[in-house]
Amino acid sequence: MTRIAAAIAAVLAMLLALAIVANIAERRNTREARAAAEQATQRAERAEATAAAEAAARASEAATASAVRRAYDETRTRLARADRAAADLRDDTDRLRSAVEVYAAGACAPGDAASATGRADGASHVAGRLAVVVRECAAALSTVAAVADHDGARLEGLQAYVRAAGLAGSAPGQ
């Protein structure tokens, strides 16, 4: 019986060794599975965070693009308004020139008496010089006003673009 007992003891020792090896393998598999699951969870969280950040960036880009588009459209409207104002100013200048020419022509009309002729010649000379001065002043004023209107509209458009693009807070000195 000692042989049988020794064989049973050997079988039991082998079974115990197999159970221990199986337990160790199971623990290792469990640890590896747990680590793999943790890595998968972390990857999923990173992917989710990346997707959320990308969506926020797209929304921000869309909002900025929309604001820039609005600023551009408003600038075009302001420039068109400035062009219309310049055209109106040119019309007013033309009317003023016409009025000066009519005045100059009336001042140059021949008089009835000899003394009126001398007065008319003097008035004609003054009216002619006045017409030249008024023409030059009106032309210069028209040019200055048109340039100022355009520059003002462009400046407002640039300011609107800077605000829309979100660059106002990142300007040097701020």
| Residue at 172 is within a domain | no
Percent share of the chain, pLDDT over 90: 12
| Residue at 173 is within a domain | no
Closest to 88 in 3D by CA, of 46, 168, 145, 47: 145
Residue-level pLDDT at 42: 92
- Which are the contacts of 150, defined by CB distance < 8 A and separation ≥ 6? 79, 82, 83, 86
Count of structural domains within the chain: 1
30-39, 118-127, 142-151, 152-161: segment of lowest average pLDDT? 118-127
Confidence of residue 114 (pLDDT cuts 50, 70, 90): very low
> Residue 94 belongs to what H/E stretch?
helix 2-107
| Residue at 174 is within a domain | no
**Average pLDDT, stretch 104-120?**
52
Closest to 156 in 3D by CA, of 65, 71, 67, 81: 71
| Residue at 48 is within a domain | yes
Confidence of residue 54 (pLDDT cuts 50, 70, 90): very high
pLDDT at 15 over 50: yes
Structural domain of residue 86, as residue ranges? 2-166
- Scored b (16 or more CB within 10 A) or e, 37-73 reads eeeeeeeeeeeeeeeeeeeeeeeeeeeeeebbeebee
